[in-house]
Amino acid sequence: MTSPDEQAASERRAAMARQGMVIAYWAERRAARPALISPARSQTFTELNGRANQLVRALRQRGVRAGDAVVLMCGNRAEFAEVYAACMRAGWRLTPINWHLTGSEAGYILADCEAKVFVAEATLAVAASEAAKDGPSVATRLAVDGHIDGFDDYDRALADQHATNIDDPTPGGTMLYTSGTTGRPKGVYREQAPVENLEIWGYREGNVHLCTGPLYHAAPLGMSLHIPLACGVGVVVMDRWDAEATLQLIEAHRVTHTHMVPTMLHRLLALPTDVRRRYDVSSLRAVVHGAAPCPVTVKRAIIDWLGPIVHEYYGATEGAGTLVDSKTWLAKPGTVGKPQPTDQVFVGDEAATRLPPHEIGLVWLKAPVQGRFRYFKDEQKTNSSYRGDHFTLGDLGYVDADGYLFLTDRSAHLIISGGVNIYPAEVDAVLLDHPAVGDVATIGVPSEEWGEDVKAVVELQPSVSPSPALAAELIEFCRKRLAHFKCPRSVDFIDKLPRLDSGKVSKHLLRERYRQHT
């Protein structure tokens, strides 16, 4: 039974969390415990809480008010957590930017989200400076760990501010950007954060979480920063992922929880047996994965190695879907879980009419009552995404007779490589600017390591002949205009792309051709 003191503490934590002050709660109770351990700088809950308060005061002095947007372009370091914690208590809308983006790509997001503040790491100075040119609303620019022309120094801005808790907290939130088939990113915005059940992660005092992915991504931000810190659990942060380094950190910090994508699991298994046996990973209590399909053989091998501590989820930036533990998955290999409650996720047709068991259709997810998403400044896209209380990511799947969900395919055009979403229309648009290209279809093809690789299938102009040199030229053409992770790993040439009666390229047919020959 819960004691009166425990109940009071729980109620106080919940109340402070609703104000965006959950870090302040843990600063009171676990003042000297590490909140963040990173290669650049580590900090306790007290230090993280104090720096967040200083940043709030520094930005308020510069005219930033509740409801304003803050953009953060920064690696996995202490300042990321500080900006995040400050936004959560000052009522600001935080948009982290993928630091692999080019300056123009980042600049589009900066302008679209109407940022009033731009915080950027000095190692990203070239892209940050270019992005800042596209953000006319940005009045305040702060540079982390170095100099960027036109930016004030982040540490100097905080230095003269009080670290005591602000007395007027306002809950803030995040607005991450996700692309659609048009190729233009859209901000996924919520007026309020969804109500979360933090207990399902099983965190206890003394636990440690290992953050393996980039914090600008929705899953690491939520599962490897927000949730553990909200539970008073310290986070060990990797600035670049490496398989053996992951095992080293698990042993060194007695890590109990971590979040990964299937590519990471694949690479851990690829380590030589003697390397895997060199490290003590017995402290692990939960390995959570998602963001991309995980091959059954990989999942089974990870469970065989680490034990039945592997948990999988299905969902997206727009909303939560399903969870499945190891025991259930072993009984139903390949499932992503049983929807709870039953209307949380179902398989239906285009009108969201539920389909019978084993019939493949669109997977529909229920939007939360509190914190329902909308696409920022795009009500048409928002309205078209919903059918009543449900929305779809365009994924296809079925439920079996017992109600377990299985995915059979990803979105019609979406490529998921290494757990990262890549939108082919954006790549197509760049390649169509090359004078040799008549038409193009960018697709995902199966990859043992990445889940999917990006391939461009090109129909050349009549006067142009295919060659390996031209394929390399087209890849380099993309790499100069797009973040490298979006660019094709290979280019194939084709006489005529398959088309629908309407004249549109049939990417579905093209993907099926490649999958049959893989």
Rounded CA separation 351/361 (Å): 11
Facing residues of 142 across strands? 119, 152
Listed in sequence order, the residues at least 6 apart from 22 whose beta carbon sits closer than 8 Å to its beta carbon are 13, 16, 88, 229, 230
Check if the beta carbon of residue 262 is closer than 8 Å to that of residue 289.
yes
Residue 335 is predicted with a pLDDT of 94
Residue 198 is predicted with a pLDDT of: 67
Residue 287 CA to residue 308 CA, distance in Å, equals: 9
Per-residue pLDDT at 291: 63
- Please tell me the predicted confidence (pLDDT) of residue 180: 47
What does DSSP say about strands 152-153 and 140-144: parallel, antiparallel, or unpaired? Answer: parallel
DSSP class of residue 194 equals P
Say which residue the tokens 């967040």 belong to: 52
- pLDDT 10s digits, 157-171: 999 999 999 999 999
Contacts of 155 (CB under 8 A, 6+ apart): none
Helix (H, G, I), strand (E, B) or coil at 446: strand
Strand pairing of 374-375 and 43-44?
unpaired
Residues with Cβ within 8 Å of residue 517, at least 6 apart in sequence: none
Using alpha carbons, select from 494, 25, 72, 395 the residue that is nearest to residue 231: 25
Ranges of residues in the chain whose predicted pLDDT is under 70 = 1, 179-183, 192-198, 200, 291-293, 317-319, 409-413, 500-504, 516-518
